Amino acid sequence: MAEQEGVIKYQLDHEEAPLPDAMDIEPLVLWREKLVECGLVGQDPERYDGYGFGNLSMRLDEGFLITGSQTGEVKDFQIEHFAWVRQADPEENRVLSLGQTPPSSESLTHAAVYAALPEVRFVFHAHSPDIWRRASELHVPETAPVPYGTPEMAREVARLLALAETRAQRLFTMAGHEDGVLSFGATAIEAGEALLGALWRAQT
């Protein structure tokens, strides 16, 4: 495996505190369960040196809610496994967050999607060898082979999202991040369908 999964590479200013009870985590909990079932998110001793993989987020009025760092093995996902990214600056490589768990190492990549597309409310990052290996054959847009969770990746995301094709597919792969795929949508269903539809195409 090229690079270790789940390593936080940005400057993190994280306040360890409970998230407000009023936060609606349901859509992310339901879709995470679905993606874990499909082997797109989770933790598996046979994959990526046993490190957790994949993460999901939802835009809020201020920032976004994202699954926490290294929570891949969690079965019963609760509010304490999420982090609230209040500010994220890909160029400054900085993240300001709050929660009982630090935010995903790929928070800057999610932030880049939210910054580029105001209508997007959900971002799902998954790992799929099927989609990743057949990306060019399936005409799925691909980033250049840059490392995950970095300002370079954020710039690559902005470049891809400027293309109508990427916005139409609501999906792209990350060439420098083994099996890395990212989908997005105005609703959780849109983001989920883009990912599961590509998985279906890749497996049939």
Number of residue whose CB is nearest Zn ion? 180
Closer by beta carbon to Zn ion, 17 or else 38: 38
Question: Smallest distance from the beta carbon of 152 to Zn ion, in angstroms?
Answer: 15
Q: What CA–CA distance (Å, rounded) separates 95 from 139? A: 33
Cβ burial 136-172 (10 Å sphere, 16+ → b, else e): eeeebbbbeebebbbbbbbbbbeebbeeeebbebbbb
Neighbours of 50 (CB within 10 A): 13
For residue 6, the minimal CB distance to Zn ion (Å) is 8
Cβ nearer to Zn ion, comparing 12 with 40: 40
Residue closer to Zn ion, measured from CB, 180 or 185: 180
Identity of the residue, 18 or 50, whose beta carbon is nearer to Zn ion in the bound complex: 50
Q: Are 99 and 84 in contact (CB under 8 A)?
A: yes
**Among positive and negative, which fits the CA dihedral 98, 103, 108, 114?**
negative
Q: How far is the CB of 109 from Zn ion (least distance, A)?
A: 9
Site for Zn ion in 164-183 (CB under 5 A): 180
What distance in Å separates the CA atoms of residue 86 and residue 163, rounded to the nearest whole number? 27
**x-or-dash string of contact with Zn ion, 126-165, rule CB under 5 A:** ----------------------------------------
- Residue 97 or residue 107: which is nearer to Zn ion going by CB? 107
Q: Tell me which residue of 185, 158, 163, 184 sits closest to 90, measured CA to CA.
A: 158
What does the alpha-carbon distance between residue 56 and residue 66 come to, in Å, rounded to a whole number? 6
**Site size for Zn ion, by CB under 5 A?**
1
Shortest separation between residue 87's beta carbon and Zn ion, angstroms: 22
Residue 133 Cβ vs Zn ion, minimum distance, rounded to whole Å: 15
Contacts of 204 (CB under 8 A, 6+ apart): none
| Beta carbon of residue 62, minimum distance to Zn ion (angstroms, whole number) | 25
- Rounded to 5°, the CA angle 182-54-143 comes to 35
The residue (of 103 and 180) whose beta carbon lies closer to Zn ion is: 180
Contacts to Zn ion by CB under 5 A: 180
